[in-house]
Amino acid sequence: MKRGSLFLGLILGASLGATAVLIKTKEKTAKVYKASWFVAHTPESPHLIQQAQEFAHRLEERSHGQLHLDLVFPKNSFIKDGNNFRDAIRMIGTNEAQISQISSTHLSLFDPQFQVFDLPFLFKSHEHAAKVFDGEIGDRIRSHFLEASGHVVRSLAFTYSGGYRVFVSNKRLSKASDLVGLRMQFYGPKADPSETLSQNPALTHLYTDLAFKMRPVMTNDHPEYFSQLDFFKNNDIDITEDHLSHFTRVYNKVGILRGKMDYVWETNHSLFLTSIVVNEKFFQSLPKDLQTLLKEEAQRLALLEREASIELDQNARQWLINSGYTVTKPTEKERNALIKESRDVYDKLGPQIGPDLIKSIEDLGASLSSSSLADTH
pLDDT digits (tens, 9 = 90+) for 323-340: 889 999 999 999 999 999
Q: Is pLDDT of 176 > 70? A: yes
Strand partners, 265: 167, 328
What percent of the chain lies above the pLDDT cut of 70? 80
β-strand pairing of 166-169 with 239-242: antiparallel
Indicate left, alpha or beta for 290 from its phi (over 0: left) and psi (-120 to 50: alpha). alpha
What is the band of 215 on the pLDDT scale with cuts at 50, 70, 90?
Answer: confident
The most distant pair of C-alpha atoms in the chain lies apart, rounded to whole Å, by: 73
**Which pLDDT score, from 0 to 100, does residue 16 have?**
46
Sign of the Cα pseudo-torsion (50, 51, 54, 55, in order): negative
What is the band of 204 on the pLDDT scale with cuts at 50, 70, 90?
Answer: confident
> 374, exposed or middle or buried, with CB in 10 Å at 0-12, 13-18, 19+?
exposed
Cα–Cα distance, 129 to 138 (Å, whole number): 10
DSSP string, 76-145: -TTS-HHHHHHHHHHHHHHTSSSEEEEEHHHHTTT-GGGGGGGSTT---SHHHHHHHHTSHHHHHHHHHH
Q: Is pLDDT of 30 > 50? A: yes
Q: Is pLDDT of 17 > 60? A: no
**Which pLDDT score, from 0 to 100, does residue 75 have?**
74
**Quick count: other Cβ atoms within 10 Å of Cβ 79?**
14
Q: Is pLDDT of 195 > 70? A: no
Name the most confidently modeled range: 24-33, 215-224, 306-315: 306-315
**Which pLDDT score, from 0 to 100, does residue 250 have?**
65
Sign of the Cα pseudo-torsion (53, 59, 62, 66, in order): negative
Q: How far is CA 279 from CA 49, 187, 297, in A?
A: 20, 28, 16
β-strand pairing of 239-242 with 153-164: unpaired
Average pLDDT over residues 29-35: 88
Cα–Cα distance, 13 to 16 (Å, whole number): 10
C-alpha angle 170-313-132 in degrees, rounded to nearest 5: 115
Between 6 and 93, the more confident residue is 93
Q: Is pLDDT of 167 > 90? A: yes
Mapped onto helix, strand or coil, the DSSP state of residue 34 is strand
Cα–Cα distance, 179 to 28 (Å, whole number): 66
What is the band of 196 on the pLDDT scale with cuts at 50, 70, 90?
Answer: very low
DSSP letter for 303, please.
H
β-strand pairing of 29-38 with 99-103: parallel
